[in-house]
Amino acid sequence: MIAQETSTQVSILDPQGGASLTAGKLDRGEPPECLSDLNLDQLIETITAPKQDYTLKPHFWTPLQDPKRIRYRQEVMKDLERPSLLSRIKEFAEKMSVVHRYLRMVEKLDYPYHRKGWILEGILLYTEAVETLFRSLQQEPIRSEGFHTFRGWLETYRSSEEFQYLSTEARRLKESLASLRYCVLIEGSKVKVKGYEGETDYSMEVENTFEKFRQGQVESYLIKYPERTGMNHVEGKILELVAKLYPEPFAELDTFISSHEQFLDPTLLAFEKEIQFYISYLDLILELKQKGYPFCYPALSATDKETFVREGFDLSLATALLKEGKVAVRNDFSLSGTERILVVTGPNQGGKTTFARMVGQIHYLASLGCPVPGREARLFLVDRIFTHFERREEVATHRGKLEDDLLRIHAMLLHASPRSLFILNEIFTSTTLQDAVFLSKNIMTQLLAMDALCVWVTFLDELASLSEKTVSMVAQVDPADPTIRTFRVVRKPADGLSYALSLAHKYRLTYQQIRERLP
């Protein structure tokens, strides 16, 4: 019933047109492995759950590698942030949703003219949706290339002879069929249909008779039953008899539907689905923006690794905290010159892992063309994000945790490039301190030689000063009470010893304090 999806030349997601989305560039397989560690799998599930009909997950699973394509999406997003345009696009989507519902329903109907009547209703609503969308886009101050291109295509499609015939003929047939008048004669178990010959309309007489009992506004006790779209065998037979009574309009309906049963244009279908990528993300961040969280469109480069983010935050965490009435802490980070690796140290439960996830999330969302969590951002466009977060040992593999860590890191290094981003969280915690330092330095040396970007969360302070390419970031505690985490992560030299001393001092466990208590 619905036209098959085909490659189209116009895409609201890609300046290269729909062909690039159907020629293997859109990965419809498994999500990238990094999504789980970055908690983006949960976020994408939240975004796409209300819009299952649109198959949006593959678009969120496919980061882009071309800054031009990303800017194309960013500009479309900016247009849609205008409430008037967004509401008009949503109105179009709602009408198209009803059209699809009609067509799904048609497949379950038994009587031919009942089916054709609902297909006609679908065509009427479809053409109305197209006309309304066309007028809406003419009234909007469109700035993005994506909407300009689509608006031009829509104008051509709407003015085409094919669409104009579809629209006018559907309306003419509707009016023709609606004008038919007939009488149903019921004699016991027999039902007959004949042409209308000026008989009294008893429905009007009944209504007039009971008019005197009409009251003002009172509480209604009527039970509302679901609207019935099916037809029983008696109604189906009556419809067949009416068709025999008036063969000409029903013959015209037969001809029209047989040649226009698949009336949905593939390009418009693609637009209807692709636009939901933008809408679903904007719907997610709307409440966060209303609560004061900043979002921005990062400047991206495929060659310059100069990086900074102001007031970034973990989007998945912020979304979860919103339900609890809590606020996520915002943090800054930057890499300049030859700096490539952020080494994050500090107390446990101090926000280090959340900070690392935030960096990964921001880079990934930026590669989709989405506004990212933060006041301002400039990013290097990475080709892939590799993550290593702690996993439980799996007995089936017969491997210990250290061996598993080494194998995973080895696989990442084999597939990485100078354009890759690594997010490493507390690796080698299962071995001795000496071995952990040796292994970590060895891997960091390889990353530095590769010139890849990295965020490394570790308990090893010495890694923070391994090279001029490393930047030390430290999770902060309240100066007055070191047991209170602020979840702020700032650029400063690693000093785990001072934190340990402040804790010892708080609980009166320094050498001097213990000596003072001894007799």
Whole-angstrom distance, CA of residue 305 vs CA of residue 501:
37
Among the residue ranges 232-246, 299-313, 475-489, the one predicted with the least confidence is: 232-246
Among the residue ranges 56-65, 220-229, 250-259, 350-359, the one predicted with the least confidence is: 220-229
pTM to 2 decimal places:
0.87
Q: Which residues pair with 182 in a beta bridge?
A: 195
Is the pLDDT at 167 greater than 90, yes or no?
yes
Whole-angstrom distance, CA of residue 205 vs CA of residue 207:
5
For range 315-326, the mean pLDDT: 96
What pLDDT, on the 0 to 100 scale, is given for residue 235?
81
CA-CA distances (angstroms) from residue 99 to 114, 118, 121? 16, 10, 8
What pLDDT, on the 0 to 100 scale, is given for residue 329?
98
CA-CA distances (angstroms) from residue 435 to 303, 368, 438, 446, 457? 36, 39, 5, 17, 17
What pLDDT, on the 0 to 100 scale, is given for residue 4?
43
What pLDDT, on the 0 to 100 scale, is given for residue 72?
98
Whole-angstrom distance, CA of residue 24 vs CA of residue 449:
33
Token couple for 207: 């209504």
What pLDDT, on the 0 to 100 scale, is given for residue 504?
65
Is the pLDDT at 413 greater than 90, yes or no?
yes
What pLDDT, on the 0 to 100 scale, is given for residue 188?
78
What pLDDT, on the 0 to 100 scale, is given for residue 13?
97
Confidence of residue 25 (pLDDT cuts 50, 70, 90): very low
507 or 277: which leads in pLDDT: 277
For range 87-96, the mean pLDDT: 98
Among the residue ranges 50-59, 123-132, 500-509, the one predicted with the least confidence is: 500-509
Is the pLDDT at 468 greater than 90, yes or no?
yes
Confidence of residue 417 (pLDDT cuts 50, 70, 90): very high
Is the pLDDT at 360 greater than 90, yes or no?
yes
For range 206-219, the mean pLDDT: 72
Whole-angstrom distance, CA of residue 352 vs CA of residue 331:
11
Q: Which residues pair with 301 in a beta bridge?
A: 380
The CATH number given to 291-517 is 3.40.50.300
For range 384-394, the mean pLDDT: 81
Whole-angstrom distance, CA of residue 345 vs CA of residue 356:
11
Is the pLDDT at 196 greater than 90, yes or no?
no
Confidence of residue 280 (pLDDT cuts 50, 70, 90): very high
For range 435-461, the mean pLDDT: 96
What pLDDT, on the 0 to 100 scale, is given for residue 187?
80
Centre a 10 Å sphere on the Cβ of residue 41 and count the other Cβ atoms it contains: 18
For range 425-433, the mean pLDDT: 88
Q: Are strands 331-335 and 307-312 parallel, antiparallel or unpaired?
A: antiparallel
What pLDDT, on the 0 to 100 scale, is given for residue 500?
63
How large a percentage of the chain has pLDDT more than 90? 68
Is the pLDDT at 442 greater than 90, yes or no?
yes
Q: Domain residue spans in the chain?
A: 64-178+262-275, 291-517
Beta strands in 329-383 (DSSP E): 331-335, 341-345, 372-373, 376-380
For range 452-467, the mean pLDDT: 94
Closest CA to 344 of 356, 335, 359, 362: 356
Whole-angstrom distance, CA of residue 316 vs CA of residue 356:
13
Confidence of residue 3 (pLDDT cuts 50, 70, 90): very low
Query: Which residues, 6 or more positions from 160, have their beta carbon under 8 angstroms from its beta carbon?
Result: none
Confidence of residue 483 (pLDDT cuts 50, 70, 90): confident
For range 472-501, the mean pLDDT: 84
Q: What is the mean pLDDT of the chain?
A: 89
Whole-angstrom distance, CA of residue 315 vs CA of residue 374:
10
For range 149-161, the mean pLDDT: 97
236 or 459: which leads in pLDDT: 459
Instruction: Please report the sign of the dihedral spanned by the C-alpha atoms of residue 313, residue 317, residue 319, residue 323.
Output: negative
